[in-house]
């Protein structure tokens, strides 16, 4: 591979700039849609949205490099000549109009005769490497426009300026930690540029990406986690703050943006973080599988996907927290017997909610009571608890009862079932929901009716624990699983195994017939396989729920036998009455 020598000669000329990162994304999405006609491509997503669904954006110009002022506001800095020239060259105009710069188009590449000396796979690999660098430079330009043009506007400075149209809190929710995100991209691009200076033919850049993905990308997770508050704040300000809306419209109409709205700039970190795995896949397609750079690219792909997962989880966690806060704000506890539950807790989220008709609310020993009381109840099913409420016209919910989800037993029933009394319903879609240990420690049975057969099935699916087709294998939900404590130290022999130290508490999620368990270590949520002989199961709520369920089954069998006996006696009495001669 040929060394570049004097790098200043390489970055001397500054061609016309190419479009911003949004335009790059639109172009790549167009290519991706075309390619998927020939082959299936799995795309990482953020908050369930595919990259190919990114909006089409209009053409735009690039910004200058920027820095942060002493008062933490943003000001345009004067970049060094080398940095400025390098950046302009990386995002320079291509011979193909609005496309990004290509490695094969560089005059130095052509003059060195590399296009004739390298095979097709190597040239494609160089293009894949070069795209990582040019797209990062394009992305950084767009981020700098967000900072220098939007965030630094006098109307966006919060309490720092009397002319500001937003508060400090709103500014924080809108722009979050964008400075840290920008610095993260700046450091990555600087290292990539330095590697490009060393040689026209890049031996590898995935080692650089691995280092940054592992150590510098936490700001992306924090920024993406803030998306719920960011979107809500932006919508609220646009609809309720005319001064803010006027300011945004003025900023968006500036030639610097050329039709791109502010939200497209705010979404840049989400778009970029989902792009990294696709860039790594492109590198893997052209690297030799037995080469060291192939292994490095595999690690980089794994780390990039891990970042996407963390961003997804962060955004999902914040969205769930927001949802829990809204529900808790509307909950009302009127009964002195019910202890108020703090809904917002680590790991809790809403699974399903909706109205059902409750035809009785009787304890199991009073199940024979045929008096029916039709009542609409509103159920909140969380991942760990179920809450029964009554919805009021003012939007509040009066809490009637609740139970841990593991203490809930569910059973579909039909109108001819002996457990079900005569019910005057045109379209019965019934199931029995038993709270084996409710809010006051009692057992309560509820006969519920859904609006349709589909609605009943969806409730049953949500309430039931997971099942397995293999009778010798057992699987458990994380909300109702056995626990075990490690009695021996275990060192894994394979990557998917769980290391154990004596005293470790493990949630068992799967039991195999050959004596292996799959579980999650409680102290750090790390999961994997381990031999069952290294742990000892402990008594927990799962065991208690299992005992409650066994007791319930016995009661149900006794009740069915008693019902048949009563029916038999009633039939015998009727037959005897028919034999009595009439006087």
- pLDDT, tens digit, 9 for 90 and up, residues 330-363: 999 998 889 999 998 878 899 999 999 998 644 4
Tell me what percent of the residues of the chain surpass a pLDDT of 90: 44
pLDDT at 582: 57
pLDDT at 371: 54
In the predicted structure, residue 283 carries a pLDDT above the cut 90: yes
Domain 7-41+68-324: CATH superfamily is: Dbl homology (DH) domain (1.20.900.10)
The 8-class DSSP code of residue 438 comes to: B
165: Cα separation from own chain's centroid: 32
Mean per-residue pLDDT, 546-572? 68
Mean per-residue pLDDT, 133-141? 90
Instruction: Give the closest residue to 203 by CA, choosing from 5, 11, 7, 3.
Output: 3
pLDDT at 29: 66
In the predicted structure, residue 323 carries a pLDDT above the cut 70: yes
pLDDT at 482: 87
C-alpha dist (Å) from residue 545 to 57, 338, 475, 480, 521 = 55, 21, 16, 8, 22
In the predicted structure, residue 294 carries a pLDDT above the cut 60: yes
pLDDT at 59: 31
pLDDT range class, residue 422, cuts 50, 70, 90: low
pLDDT at 183: 96
SS3 string, 549-561, reads HHHHHHHHHHHHH
Instruction: Tell me which of 33-47, 149-163, 215-229, 452-466 is least confident.
Output: 33-47
Q: What mean pLDDT is reported for the chain?
A: 79
pLDDT at 579: 62
**What are the extents of the domains in the chain?**
7-41+68-324, 343-458+541-576, 483-539
Mean per-residue pLDDT, 208-218? 95
pLDDT range class, residue 8, cuts 50, 70, 90: very low
Yes or no: is domain 343-458+541-576 CATH 2.30.29.30? yes
Distance in angstroms (rounded) separating the CA atoms of residues 35 and 393: 53
CATH of 483-539, one of 2.30.30.40, 3.40.50.150, 3.40.309.10, 1.10.10.60: 2.30.30.40
502 against 20, higher pLDDT:
502
549 against 450, higher pLDDT:
450
pLDDT at 115: 78
């Amino acid at each position: 591979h040929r060394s570049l020598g004097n790098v200043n000669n390489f970055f001397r000329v500054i061609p016309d700039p190419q479009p911003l990162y949004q335009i790059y994304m639109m172009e790549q999405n167009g290519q991706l849609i075309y390619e998927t006609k020939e082959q299936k491509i799995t795309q990482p997503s953020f908050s369930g949205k595919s990259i190919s669904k990114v909006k089409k954006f209009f053409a735009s110009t690039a910004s200058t490099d920027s820095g942060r002022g002493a008062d933490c506001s943003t000001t345009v800095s004067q970049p060094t000549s080398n940095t400025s020239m390098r950046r302009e060259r990386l995002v320079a105009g291509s011979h193909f109009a609005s496309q990004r710069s290509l490695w094969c188009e560089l005059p130095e590449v052509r003059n060195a005769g590399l296009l004739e000396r390298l095979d097709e796979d190597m040239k494609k690999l160089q293009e894949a490497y070069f795209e990582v660098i040019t797209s990062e430079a394009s992305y950084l330009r767009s981020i700098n426009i967000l900072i220098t043009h939007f965030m630094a506007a006098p109307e966006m400075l919060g309490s720092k300026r009397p002319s500001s149209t937003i508060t400090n809190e709103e500014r924080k929710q809108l722009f979050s930690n964008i400075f840290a995100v920008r610095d993260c991209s700046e450091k990555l691009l600087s290292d990539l540029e330095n590697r490009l200076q060393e040689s026209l033919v890049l031996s590898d850049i995935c080692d650089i990406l691995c280092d940054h993905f592992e150590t510098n990308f936490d700001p992306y997770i924090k920024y993406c986690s803030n998306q719920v508050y960011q979107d809500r704040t932006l919508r609220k300000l646009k609809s309720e703050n005319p001064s803010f809306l006027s300011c945004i419209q003025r900023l968006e109409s500036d030639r610097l943006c050329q039709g791109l709205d502010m939200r497209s700039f705010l979404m840049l970190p989400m778009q970029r973080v989902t792009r990294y795995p696709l860039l790594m896949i492109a590198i893997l397609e052209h690297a030799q599988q037995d080469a060291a750079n192939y292994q490095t690219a595999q690690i980089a792909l794994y780390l990039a996907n891990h970042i996407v997962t963390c961003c997804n989880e962060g955004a999902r966690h914040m969205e769930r927290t927001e949802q829990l806060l809204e529900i808790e704000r509307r909950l009302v506890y009127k009964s002195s017997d019910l202890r108020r539950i703090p809904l917002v807790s680590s790991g809790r989220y809403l699974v399903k909610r909706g109205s059902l008709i409750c035809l009785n609310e009787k304890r199991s020993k009073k199940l024979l009571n045929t008096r029916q009381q039709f009542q609409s109840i509103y159920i909140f099913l969380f991942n760990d608890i179920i809450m029964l409420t009554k919805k009021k016209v003012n939007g509040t919910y009066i809490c009637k009862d609740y139970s841990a989800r593991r203490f809930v037993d569910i059973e579909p029933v039909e109108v001819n079932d002996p457990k079900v009394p005569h019910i005057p319903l045109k379209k019965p879609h019934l199931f029995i929901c038993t709270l084996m240990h409710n809010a006051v420690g009692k057992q309560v049975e509820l006969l519920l009716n859904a609006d349709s057969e589909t609605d009943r099935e969806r409730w049953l699916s949500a309430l039931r624990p997971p099942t397995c087709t293999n009778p010798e294998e057992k699987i458990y939900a994380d909300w109702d699983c056995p626990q075990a404590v490690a009695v021996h130290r275990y060192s894994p022999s394979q990557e998917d195994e769980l290391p154990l130290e004596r005293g470790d508490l493990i949630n068992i999620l799967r039991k195999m017939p050959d004596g292996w368990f799959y579980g999650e270590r409680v102290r750090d949520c790390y999961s994997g396989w381990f031999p069952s002989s290294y742990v000892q199961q402990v008594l927990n709520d799962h065991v208690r729920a299992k005992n409650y369920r066994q007791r319930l089954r016995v009661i149900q069998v006794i009740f069915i036998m008693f019902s048949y006996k009563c029916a038999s006696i009633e039939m015998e009495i009727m037959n005897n009455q028919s034999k009595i001669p009439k006087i």
